[in-house]
Every structure is written in C-alpha cells, then in structure tokens.
Copies of this chain bind each other. A is one copy, B any other.
Amino acid sequence: MAARQRTWYAILGLLSWKPMSGYDLKKFVEVGISHFWSESYGQLFPTLNRLADEGLVSRRRDTGRGRRMRHLYTITPKGRRELIGWLQAPLQPLQVRNELLLKFFLSCRRPAPESLRLLGEYRAQLESRLAEYTDSEVVLASAVRTGHLPAEIESLVGVDRGPGRSVDRRRDALVFLLTLRHGLATLRARLQWCDEAEVELRARRRPTARGARS
C-alpha cells in the first residue's frame, strides 16, 4: 500500500540512463547528483535484489576482460513503466526538519551572541557550498553551450544507445546545470536571509533591558 521507498525509484531512474552495477550507481550519485541525493550501500544492494526479483531490472554478469566480475543491472520494460508511473505521480509534500532553524529558534532566549554565532556558522557552511557550486556551474554552463561534458560527468551519462537514441549531451548538461542552479538559488537566498536576520537581531538587542550595563 505505502508508496515504495524513494531509493527504489532513484535506482530505477538512474538505470534508465544506462545499465550500471551497484558500485556504479553509488558513484553516479556521489559524483553527479550529491547536491540533491544520496544513497548508501545498505539500501542499494538489497533494493537491487528486490528490483531484480520483481522483474523491474535484469541482472547479468559482466566479466569484462581483466576487470573483476560485477553485476550489471539493466532496467526492463516493466521497470520503465513503473518509473514513468512514479514520475507522473504527484509530488509528496516533504516533511521538514531543519536543524539550523530549530537551533536558531531555541537560541532566541539565550544571550544574543549565541544566536549571532549560530548565524555565522550557518553562513560559513552556506558560503563554502556556494563556492563549490559556483565552480561547477561555470563548467556545466560551458558544457551546455559546447556539448562537451566535463570528464567526470561524461563517464556517468553513457554512450550512444543505437540509431535514433543518441545521447543529447547538451540536454544532459542542461539538466545537471539546472538542478545545480536550484541549489545555488537556495543558497543565495539563505545567505541573504543571514544578513537580514543579523541586522534584526542586532537592532533588537533588548532596548533598555533592566539591569543591563549602564
């Protein structure tokens, strides 16, 4: 009854890009989409087995010359139908549990410097991510123009899959770029919020608190 776990569809979806092993899938997530997704081996392998049991993916041994044996998983037509069904299903409103905001909220009755320190820490975290993302953005934006993907992405997207199914590398680059920009937009907005919040907190430092200095 309950909707299948998201890992289920994440794997199905990544396999719709190209056949991969469990290890490949992990790498794809880490290298390509870690700014909005994560997978752990503890979910990955059991889920792959279940997907194979249900016929949504097929497993075959890949004994490439010289390389260690591995399992290559390929999405089946049934799996593809399942994936498409999910893609078209309504978005689950995500339940939010934001640790930073919880701390910020709870700090408000503590001395003001503590809230400000927290903001500073948050800002530093946001900024370091912003720096990373900005670098990637430059690379990806140029990939969208030239169709020449950066090596680490190129290795993810896979080779052409026969006539009429050629990989449109600009389009692929674009989707990487757009998901990244979602993150960028979010980061920038939150950095601005930090500025504003700091101003507000400083402005409100208990005007005429009884017993305060002076």
Contact = CB atoms under 8 A, between A and B. Distances in A.
A159 interface: no
Contacts of A110: 84, 87
A95 interface: yes
Contact of A181 (B36, B87, B164, B193): B193
Contacts of A171: 108-109, 204, 206
Interface string A152-187: 000000000000100010111011101101100110
Give this chain's copy count.
Answer: 2
A178 B200 contact: yes
A102 B36 contact: yes
Interface of A: 6, 9-10, 13-14, 16-17, 33, 35-38, 83-84, 86-88, 90-110, 114, 117-118, 121-122, 125, 164, 168, 170-172, 174-176, 178-179, 181-182, 185-186, 188-190, 192-193, 196-197, 200-201, 204, 206, 210-211
A159 to B, nearest CB: 14
A178 B104 contact: yes
27 contacts: A6-B97, A35-B96, A36-B97, A36-B101, A38-B95, A86-B103, A87-B103, A87-B118, A88-B114, A88-B117, A91-B99, A92-B99, A94-B98, A104-B175, A104-B178, A104-B179, A108-B172, A108-B174, A109-B171, A164-B210, A171-B206, A174-B200, A181-B193, A181-B196, A182-B193, A186-B190, A188-B189
Given A13-B102, A94-B98, 17 more contacts: A9-B102, A14-B106, A33-B105, A35-B96, A37-B102, A38-B96, A83-B106, A84-B110, A105-B175, A108-B171, A108-B175, A168-B206, A171-B204, A178-B196, A178-B201, A185-B192, A186-B186
